[in-house]
Structure 1
Amino acid sequence: MKSILITGASSGIGRAAAETFLEDGWRVGAIARRADRLEELAATSENVVALPADVTDAKAMEDVFTRFSKIAGRLDVLFNNAGMFGPAGPINELTVEDFEQVLNVNVRGMFICARLAFEQMRNQTPQGGRIINNGSLSAHNPRPGSICYTTSKHAITGMTRSLSLDGRPFDIACSQIDIGNARTEMVADLTARAAREHPEEPPMPSMDVADAARSVLHMANMPPEANVQFMTVMATKMPYIGRG
């Protein structure tokens, strides 16, 4: 049975991905801070390992990776998904603490998890595995008022490229999925904010979060000699090309 660790698995894209991988017969290690939601997910399948922890806590994450690897026998894939949008607005209306909070989760947390996955994949037999980082359309083109989030997601693209290069000698592939307006709690919050600020505008185009989850599954199921380096999956009518 193939195994995957998914961070941010209690809701949104992470929860949808966990359900999709379970349907495909994977063993899923579900990581998030909200233990009650993870236990709810675990009650649906014996192939779920609920792993409540904060991705920014390096020691807790080390314990989580060790526990899951012992249960699953190996780690085939990490879906490095946990993240937050954070406060929105022009830079002079944000605090340094706002910026640090977003980078702590979106960059430091993803670094911690990628480091642990890389270590496990490098030393297991057979060697290798796959790390899939959740980027964003904001890794390419920002939304207005998103400097904290956009900066963090540009950093993830650099992380993905570096991991891809460093992983080659050890059969560790790394890829990035950039998802636009999947119907999650975060996108619901952004939609509500846009409606308050521009009530005359139509609602933001969005797509079913299950479509994003199936895209992650496709990336994870690639054979070892192939990799989807970057994938963009988004609501068809959202203003991505040419937005600014």
Structure 2
Amino acid sequence: MTTTSDKNPRVALVTGAGSGIGRAVALALLQDGYRVVLAGRRPEPLDAMVEAATAAGQQALAVPTDVRDAQSVQALFDQTEQHFGRLDVVFNNAGVNAPAVPMDELPLDAWKDVIDTNLTGVFLCARAAFALMRRQNPQGGRIINNGSISAHAPRPFSSPYTASKHAVLGLTKCIALDGREFNIVCSQIDIGNALTELAERMTKGVRQANGSIAAEPMMDVQHVAEAVRYMAGLPLSTNVLNMTVMASQMPFVGRG
């Protein structure tokens, strides 16, 4: 059940909503009756989703946003509050990766782009969500961070991405702790090999820890959307602090 009443449907915000995991989650939440704010850098896919949602009798708001920029993030949450009056769920999904090269070949700008997007972007969105959830009435809400299996174990040549996701895990725990006083809960979903446009390359072969190149099993991105839908739908008295959703046979547990 996603509404307190038919007149007060819950509001969700999804970053990186224009494609991949973000798009799948946003569509699932719209189907559940949420009013959904769609954030992303490219306006065209966001506008197309709003048009489709409107045709289906759903409510969506597109807000082009760069999560690396504090002013852009603040504008996103200001528009959310102005348009819908409150915020119940945030899915911090926007993220990027860097070229898989030895550390000494990685440009500093590539490192900064990953950290600014995957870590600082999550912090900026969580900070703005925390402020809104703290002052709204009824108080509280749920922040869900898209971590990664890389929050627990790295791939070869992945230092910026892995560092950012380890940091998100720590940030998730801090938000979960600091939010108790204000009925704000925080969760993290760690995803392994969801088949999206960006991950399709992995079906053709990915470098393994032993130096070999091997294709890896994938899972339907809809299973990720279902997992986030479950986490989002829980009452604030209950939290899934951390969930791992993965292709069963991918090389993560043990030695692959």
TM-score exceeds 0.5:
yes
Count of residue pairs the alignment pairs up? 241
Q: Is the 8 A contact 2:205 2:214 kept in 1?
A: no
Partner of residue 19, structure 1: 27
User: 1:148 maps to what in 2?
Assistant: 160
**CA distance, structure 2, for counterparts of residue 61 and residue 201 of structure 1:** 39
Query: Which residue number in structure 2 is paired with residue 89 of structure 1?
Result: 101
**Structural mapping, 1:23-42, within 5 Å:** 23-42=31-50
State the partner residue of 1:118: 130
- Aligned residue number for residue 174 of structure 1: 186
4+ residue stretches of structure 1 with deviation over 6 A?
none
Partner SS state of residue 185, structure 1: coil
One-letter code aligned to 1:86: A
Q: 2:119 aligned to 78, 86, 107, which one?
A: 107
**Structure 1 equivalent of residue 6 of structure 2:** none
3-state SS of 1:232 partner: strand
- Residue matched to 2:146: 134
Q: Report the Cα offset of residue 203 of structure 1.
A: 2.6
- Tell me which amino acid in the other structure corresponds to 1:26: Y
Cα distance in structure 2, aligned partners of 1:193 and 1:104: 28
Q: Deviations over 1:65-99 (max 9, x none)?
A: 11111221210011011001122122112122221
Q: Scaled by the length of structure 1, what TM-score is found? A: 0.95
Hey, what's the Cα distance between the residues in 2 that align with 1:52 and 1:30?
Answer: 8
Cα distance in 2 for residues equivalent to 1:110 and 1:168: 19
Query: 1:52 matched to which residue of 2?
Result: 64
Query: How far is 1:54 from its partner?
Result: 0.7
SS at match of 1:54: coil
Q: Distance in 1 between matches of 2:206 and 2:108?
A: 24
Report sequence identity in percent. Answer: 49
Q: 1:182, 1:209 within 8 Å by CA — same for their partners in 2?
A: yes
TM-score by structure 2 length? 0.90
Aligned-partner residue type, residue 135 of structure 2 = N
Separation (CA, whole Å) in 2 of partners of 1:174 and 1:112:
15
Does structure 1 residue 185 correspond to structure 2 residue 165? no
Q: Is the contact made by 1:138 and 1:153 (CA closer than 8 Å) also made in structure 2?
A: yes
Please, which runs of 5 or more residues in structure 1 have no aligned partner?
Answer: none
Query: Partner of 1:158 in structure 2?
Result: 170
2-side partners of 1:193 and 1:101: how far apart? 25
Highest relative contact order (Cα 8 Å, sep 6+), 1 or 2?
Answer: 1
Q: 1:176-207 deviations in whole A, cap 9, x for unaligned?
A: 00000001122123444628xx9x96531000
Aligned-partner SS, 1:126: coil
Who is 2:218 aligned against?
Answer: 206
- Cα separation, 1, equivalents of 2:241 and 2:33: 24
Letter in 2 for 1:48: A
The residue number in structure 1 matching 2:74 is 62
Question: How far apart in 2 are the matches of 1:62 and 1:193?
Answer: 40
Task: Report the equivalent of 2:4.
Answer: none
Whether 1:7 aligns to 2:10 is no
Give the aligned residue type for 1:8.
Answer: G
Contact 1:5 1:28 in 2 (8 A): yes
RMSD of aligned C-alpha atoms?
A: 1.7
